[in-house]
Homo-oligomer: A and B are copies of this chain.
Amino acid sequence: MLKGGGQSRVTIVDIARAAGVSKSTVSLVLQGSPLVKPDKYDKVREAIQRLGYVYHRGAANLRRSVSDVVGLVINDLTNPFFAEMTVGLEAALQTAGLIPFLANTGESPTRQALVMRAMREHGAVGYVLCPAIGTNADDLAEVRAWGLPVTTVMRRLLADWLSSVTPDNVGGARRATEHLLWLGHRRIAFVGGRVGMVVHEERRAGWETALRQAGLPLDPALAVESTPNRDGGAVALQRVMSLADPPTAALCFNDVVAIGVIYALNGRGLAAGRDFAVVGFDDIADARLIHPPLTTVAVESRRLGEHAATILLEQLAGTAAGPQHITGDARLIVRASCGAAGAPQPKAA
Q: How far is the CB of A245 from chain B (nearest CB, A)?
A: 28
Residues of B within 8 A of A221 (CB): none
For A145, give the chain B residue with the smallest CB separation.
Answer: B52
Give chain A interface residues in 97-116, CB to chain B under 8 Å: 97-104, 106, 115
Interface 9-residue window, one of A118-126, A153-161, A181-189: A118-126
Residues of B within 8 A of A97 (CB): 1
Within 8 Å by CB of A65, from B5, B122, B259, lies B5
Indicate whether A3 reaches chain B with its CB closer than 8 angstroms.
Answer: yes
Q: Count how many chain A residues have C-beta atoms less than 8 Å from C-beta atoms of the other chain.
A: 65
Q: How far is the CB of A3 from chain B (nearest CB, A)?
A: 4
Indicate whether A348 reaches chain B with its CB closer than 8 angstroms.
Answer: yes
Indicate whether A34 reaches chain B with its CB closer than 8 angstroms.
Answer: no
Indicate whether A321 reaches chain B with its CB closer than 8 angstroms.
Answer: no
Indicate whether A62 reaches chain B with its CB closer than 8 angstroms.
Answer: yes
> Known: A57-B122, A289-B259. Is A102-B99 also a contact (CB below 8 A)?
no
On whether the beta carbons of B78 and A106 are closer than 8 Å, the reply is no
Q: How far is the CB of A346 from chain B (nearest CB, A)?
A: 9
Residues of B within 8 A of A102 (CB): 101-104
Indicate whether A24 reaches chain B with its CB closer than 8 angstroms.
Answer: no
Q: Mark A285-315, 1 if CB is under 8 A from B, else 0.
A: 0100101000000000000000000000000
Contacts A6-B147, A58-B122, A59-B62 aside, 20 further interface pairs with beta carbons under 8 A come to A1-B66, A2-B66, A3-B67, A3-B68, A4-B67, A9-B65, A54-B120, A58-B58, A78-B80, A78-B83, A78-B84, A78-B87, A80-B83, A87-B104, A101-B101, A102-B103, A263-B291, A266-B345, A347-B347, A347-B348
Q: Which A positions have Cβ atoms within 8 angstroms of B? A: 1-7, 9, 52, 54-59, 61-62, 65-69, 77-78, 80, 83-84, 86-87, 90-91, 94, 97-104, 106, 115, 118, 120-123, 125-126, 145-148, 230, 259, 263, 266, 286, 289, 291, 316-317, 345, 347-348
A-B contact pairs, 6 of them (CB 8 A): A6-B147, A52-B145, A78-B80, A87-B106, A99-B101, A263-B289
